[in-house]
């Protein structure tokens, strides 16, 4: 039987990511994005799970390397929507609207430490359902 993740967002796109029979974690997505409501991923396929992954679209400012913008490092990334490049991945800030300074670009952010737990748990086909109010 496939594993299952249920993601539920509120109006600010703050939410919960429940790995059935494993644990529930805080997450943040992008309000208004029409995420697929039901999909299945297979982590044994190439490029589904990547650590670390560097964004091909977004750049971040890393103070430890100077005031330059480099591709954002997205630790413990699980590709869930390949057509849009949407991942579940670690983010260093709290998985709240205020803690992230606003919504994500579309990926589903989970907090440091939680992302590795989810990444390690997803080791076989996993069904993901996503519920949102928009």
Up-side HSE of residue 81: CA atoms within 13 Å toward CB? 18
Q: How far apart are CA 33 and CA 22, in angstroms?
A: 27
Q: pLDDT band at 102, cuts 50/70/90?
A: low
Residues 30-60 have pLDDT tens digits of 999 999 999 999 999 999 999 999 887 877 7
pLDDT higher for 104 or 4?
A: 4
CATH number, residue 122: 2.40.440.10
Predicted TM-score (pTM) of the model is 0.89
Quote the number of domains for the chain.
1
Q: What is the residue range of 84's domain?
A: 3-131
Q: How far apart are CA 65 and CA 71, in angstroms?
A: 12
Structure tokens at 120: 């390690």
Measure CA of the first residue to CA of the last residue in the chain; give whole Å.
31
Structure tokens at 67: 């005031």
Q: How far apart are CA 14 and CA 80, in angstroms?
A: 18
Q: How far apart are CA 61 and CA 71, in angstroms?
A: 9
Structure tokens at 92: 């260093």
Task: Give the pLDDT confidence score for residue 110 in this predicted structure.
Answer: 95
């Amino acid at each position: 039987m496939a594993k299952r993740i249920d993601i539920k967002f509120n109006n600010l796109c703050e939410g919960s990511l429940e790995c059935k029979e494993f644990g529930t974690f805080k997450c943040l997505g992008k309000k208004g994005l029409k995420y697929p409501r039901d999909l299945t991923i297979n982590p044994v396929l190439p490029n589904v799970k990547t650590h670390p992954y560097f964004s091909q679209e977004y750049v971040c400012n890393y103070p430890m390397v100077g005031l330059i913008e480099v591709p954002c490092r997205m630790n413990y990334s699980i590709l869930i929507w390949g057509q849009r490049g949407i991942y579940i991945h670690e983010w260093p800030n709290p998985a709240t609207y205020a803690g992230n300074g606003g919504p994500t670009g579309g990926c589903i952010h989970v907090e440091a430490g939680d992302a590795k737990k989810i990444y390690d748990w997803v080791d076989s086909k996993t069904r993901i359902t996503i519920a949102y109010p928009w």
